[in-house]
Amino acid sequence: MSTASIATEVSQEPETPGERPGFDEIHILWIAEGTSRDGDTVSMTAAGRSAVEDIVLGLMPGLPKVHLHDKVLSPSPGGEDHLGPFRAAARGELGPFVLVVEGSVPHQDIIEADGPNRWIDRLAPEAWAVVAVGTCATFDDGHTMTGNPTGSPTGSMALADRLGRDFTSRGALPVVNIPGCPVQPENVMETLTWLLHHAAGTAPPPPLDHMLRPQWLFGKTVHEGCDRAASPGHATFTKDHDSPKCQVKVGCWGPVVNCDVPKRGWTGGIGGCPHVGGICVGCTVPGFPDAFVPFMDEPTGGSPSSPLVKPYGAVIRRLRGITGLAAGQEPKRHHDKAEPTSGHAPHRRP
Ligand code: SF4
Ligand code: SF4
């Protein structure tokens, strides 16, 4: 594919001074050549709403035409055909593009003199937006964790650390971090969709939190969305993995980890760590995994707080039992007499 054929057009000048023009077309350059294991690419393909195929095929109204350059998902035979857009982008000849980086960035060149770190250094300053996908790229996890069995001499770092925390893209955006190990499918596609609407000029920039994560995805804790969340209030905890009770004693960090997976589920809305018997191991926060190992141990602070809640839970369970009896009583208007009655009559109310 020649450089000329992949250059994109920016729509006409703004009608009023200061108005930002939207793009008619945009490229997405997806790099997973650092220390990635492609798990986020695989995960991303499971998104049902904001599906990648809908975006690439132009089936979502209001978005620019999207050219996806991904070694797995793009219809390219590979080699120079795949690399052409990346080379053009590094020369500043591609037109607007979103650079997506999956996997942490190696400190040193792992390929002679032209490793992924060098490519990122060349591409990021030209990118309209830069997105880090997965916890390796956002916070750097497994490759520098304590006791890394690979014994990697080079180590690696998060994308925002490589580019500098004050980095802003050509679209005046900081690095957008979408953590997860792997990333939740809809989380990454929804964020990309928001960015594409912003690129089209039809949406403001996505709101990010202090860790550069989309606020609407990472504003609540796992605990707040857990379907076992009534269990701690009743002081009922499991010490095994085959129970529907709260799993904090077997290593769940949900009360302090921000993640929408329990609310959102995984493929097709099904699953979501604690919903299906998995503890939350904090895969969306910077301390992962070191801060959470050994994974099956009770979190710091769990042992004093769960005994404290026991007396409270015992009282609450009894009170709710009484309330439940009242809620389960048949109203007086339910009867088998011939004359129908309604709850409008005050003497027939419970
Ligand atoms: S299983 Fe985890 S997230 Fe769910 S209620 Fe217990 S501590 Fe909270
Ligand atoms: S619930 Fe916990 S372990 Fe599961 S995806 Fe979210 S942060 Fe990761």
SS (H, E, C) the chain: CCHHHHCCCECCCCCCCCCCCCECEEEEEEECCCCCCCHHHHHHCCCCCCCHHHHHCCCCCCCCEEEEECCCCCCCCCHHHHHHHHHHHHCCCCCCEEEEEECCEECCCCCCCCCHHHHHHHHHHHCCEEEEECHHHHHCCHHHCCCCCCCCCCCEECHHHHHCCCCCCCCCCCCEEECCCCCCHHHHHHHHHHHHHHHHCCCCCCCECCCCCEHHHHCCEHHHHCCCCHHHHCCCECCCCCCCCECHHHCCCHHHCECCHHHHCCHHHCCCHHHHCCCCCCCCCCCCCHHHCCCCCCCCCHHHHHHHHHHHHHHHHHHHHHHHHHHCCCCCCCCCCCCCCCCCCHHHCC
pLDDT computed for residue 154 by the predictor = 58
Q: Is the pLDDT of residue 87 over 50?
A: yes
Q: How confident is the model at residue 8 (pLDDT cuts 50, 70, 90)?
A: very low
State which ligand 2 atom lies nearest to the alpha carbon of 259.
Answer: 6
Tell me whether the omega of the peptide bond preceding residue 331 falls within 30 degrees of 0, making it cis. no
Residues 283 and 180 occupy one common structural domain: no
Higher pLDDT, 314 or 124: 124
What domain range includes position 238? 220-326
Residues 35 and 156 occupy one common structural domain: yes
Q: How do 65-69 and 105-106 pair as beta strands? A: unpaired
Tell me whether the omega of the peptide bond preceding residue 182 falls within 30 degrees of 0, making it cis. yes
Residues 122 and 34 occupy one common structural domain: yes
Residues in the chain: 350
Is 47 part of any domain?
yes
pLDDT computed for residue 7 by the predictor = 42
pLDDT computed for residue 222 by the predictor = 96
Average pLDDT on 11-18 reads: 45
User: Residues lining ligand 2, judged by CB closer than 6 Å?
Assistant: 180, 222, 257, 259, 261-262, 273, 280-284
Angle at 242 between CA 240 and CA 245, to 5 degrees: 75
Helices 79-90 and 116-123, packing angle to 10 deg: 50
Higher pLDDT, 115 or 321: 321
| Of the residues 218, 253, 274, the one at which a domain ends | 218
pLDDT computed for residue 108 by the predictor = 65
Residues 171 and 246 occupy one common structural domain: no
Ligand that comes closest to the CA of residue 295: 2
Centre of ligand 1 from the C-alpha of residue 240, in Å: 13
Percent of the chain with pLDDT over 70: 87
Residues 52 and 166 occupy one common structural domain: yes
Q: Select from 242, 248, 300 the residue to mutate for testing ligand 1; criterion: most ligand atoms less than 8 Å from CB.
A: 248
| Of the residues 218, 245, 260, the one at which a domain ends | 218
Centre of ligand 1 from the C-alpha of residue 345, in Å: 45
State which ligand 2 atom lies nearest to the alpha carbon of 279.
Answer: 3
Residues 281 and 199 occupy one common structural domain: no
Higher pLDDT, 104 or 225: 225
Is 347 part of any domain?
no
Q: Is the pLDDT of residue 5 over 60?
A: no
Number of domains the chain is built from: 2
Mean pLDDT is highest, among 76-90, 149-163, 196-210, for 196-210
Q: How confident is the model at residue 109 (pLDDT cuts 50, 70, 90)?
A: low
Is 348 part of any domain?
no
Q: How confident is the model at residue 149 (pLDDT cuts 50, 70, 90)?
A: low
Residues 117 and 245 occupy one common structural domain: no
Mean pLDDT is highest, among 65-69, 75-79, 323-327, for 65-69
Q: Is the pLDDT of residue 80 over 80?
A: yes
Residues 132 and 206 occupy one common structural domain: yes
Residues 87 and 214 occupy one common structural domain: yes
Is 331 part of any domain?
no
Residues 265 and 122 occupy one common structural domain: no
Q: Is 205:168 a contact under the CB 8 Å cutoff?
A: no
| Of the residues 172, 198, 218, the one at which a domain ends | 218
Q: How confident is the model at residue 16 (pLDDT cuts 50, 70, 90)?
A: low
Residue nearest to atom 7 of ligand 1 (CA): 248
Is 168 part of any domain?
yes
Q: How confident is the model at residue 349 (pLDDT cuts 50, 70, 90)?
A: low
Q: Is the pLDDT of residue 2 over 60?
A: no
Residue 12 token pair: 């006409």
Centre of ligand 1 from the C-alpha of residue 2, in Å: 53
Residues 154 and 208 occupy one common structural domain: yes
| CATH classification of the domain holding 273 | 4.10.480.10
Q: Select from 228, 241, 298 the residue to mutate for testing ligand 1; criterion: most ligand atoms less than 8 Å from CB.
A: 228
Q: Is the pLDDT of residue 6 over 60?
A: no
Mean pLDDT is highest, among 131-140, 154-163, 326-335, for 131-140
Sign (positive or negative) of CA dihedral 230, 232, 233, 234:
positive
Is 141 part of any domain?
yes
Is 88 part of any domain?
yes
Residues 129 and 248 occupy one common structural domain: no
Is 340 part of any domain?
no
Centre of ligand 2 from the C-alpha of residue 47, in Å: 17
Higher pLDDT, 130 or 301: 130
Residue 157 token pair: 């770092």
Percent of the chain with pLDDT over 90: 50
| CATH classification of the domain holding 165 | 3.40.50.700
Q: How confident is the model at residue 350 (pLDDT cuts 50, 70, 90)?
A: low
Query: pTM (2 decimals)?
Result: 0.86
